[in-house]
Amino acid sequence: MIPFVGLTGGLGAGKSTALEAFGRLGCATLSTDAVVHELYADPDVVAAVVERFGREVASDGTIDRAALAQRAFASADGRAWLERLLWPLVGERMVSWRAGAERREPAPVAAVVEVPLLFESGMESAFDATICVVADEAIRHERAAPRGHQALDERAARQLSQQEKAARCTYVVVNDGDLSGLERKLSTVLDKINRGAADEHDD
């Protein structure tokens, strides 16, 4: 079995950039944000969300993420309801995707899933190893600023701090340089993960 790796990090740390780099390094990759985008087009999910938050969040039959965020994250109850709806579905998609990755020929170096809310969702136990991408606060703010302050505040309110995420992860990668430097660091981590998996197999 190939290593199953969870990738996380704070806002603007470079998780998506790291996921793309893992793809170039020979890994199978999946973004749970992309999975959520797909789920928001599922008729059953749309119907449940509209029933809970009103027709305004899907006025044209598709979910308006900004409108949904404004309503769902306005209260702890709304946020919890949405997470109870989505997280099990995301988990199911991860399981089926992993099974497909393990059947690939040639086998990928690892199967890496980007999960921004890795610990908040309780998904960390599903992975063989976890990686946190971190960056200086000023760099993170600069990268995240184009998303808008309201979106940033909403997301930040749902997440553990960068320091807490790093403390809980198996590996921490500092993304404070150029892309080639980031890829070298990620390649080193992959080597460590695969050596560990080989040692376990030998045991």
pLDDT digits (tens, 9 = 90+) for 110-158: 999 999 999 999 999 999 999 999 998 888 778 777 665 445 555 666 6
Sign of the Cα pseudo-torsion (65, 67, 68, 73, in order): positive
pLDDT confidence tier of residue 57, bands split at 50, 70 and 90: very high
Kindly state the percentage of the chain with pLDDT values over 90.
69
The residue length of the chain stands at: 203
On the question of pLDDT at 52 being above 80, the answer is yes
Q: Among 68-82, 93-107, 160-174, 177-191, whose mean pLDDT is lowest?
A: 68-82
Domain chopping of the chain, boundaries: 4-202
What's the pLDDT at 201?
41
On the question of pLDDT at 103 being above 90, the answer is yes
- Rounded to whole angstroms, how far apart are CA atoms 112 and 19? 7
- Residues 123, 73: contact at Cβ < 8 Å? no
What's the pLDDT at 11?
84
Domain 4-202 has CATH 3.40.605.10: no
In DSSP notation, the chain reads ---EEEEEE-TTS-HHHHHHHHHHTT-EEEEHHHHHHHHTT-HHHHHHHHHHH-GGGGTTSS--HHHHHHHHTTSHHHHHHHHHHHHHHHHHHHHHHHHHHHT-SSPPS-EEEE-TTTTTTT-GGG-SEEEEEE--HHHHHHHHGGG-HHHHHHHHHHS--HHHHHHHSSEEEE--S-HHHHHHHHHHHHHHHHHHHHHHHH-
Closest CA to 61 of 46, 71, 83, 75: 46
Look up residue 179 and give its two tokens: 């892309």
| pLDDT tens-digit map of 4-34 | 999 999 888 899 999 999 999 999 999 999 9
- Rounded to whole angstroms, how far apart are CA atoms 119 and 59? 33
- Residues 108, 101: contact at Cβ < 8 Å? yes
Q: What predicted TM-score, i.e. pTM, was given to this entire model?
A: 0.89
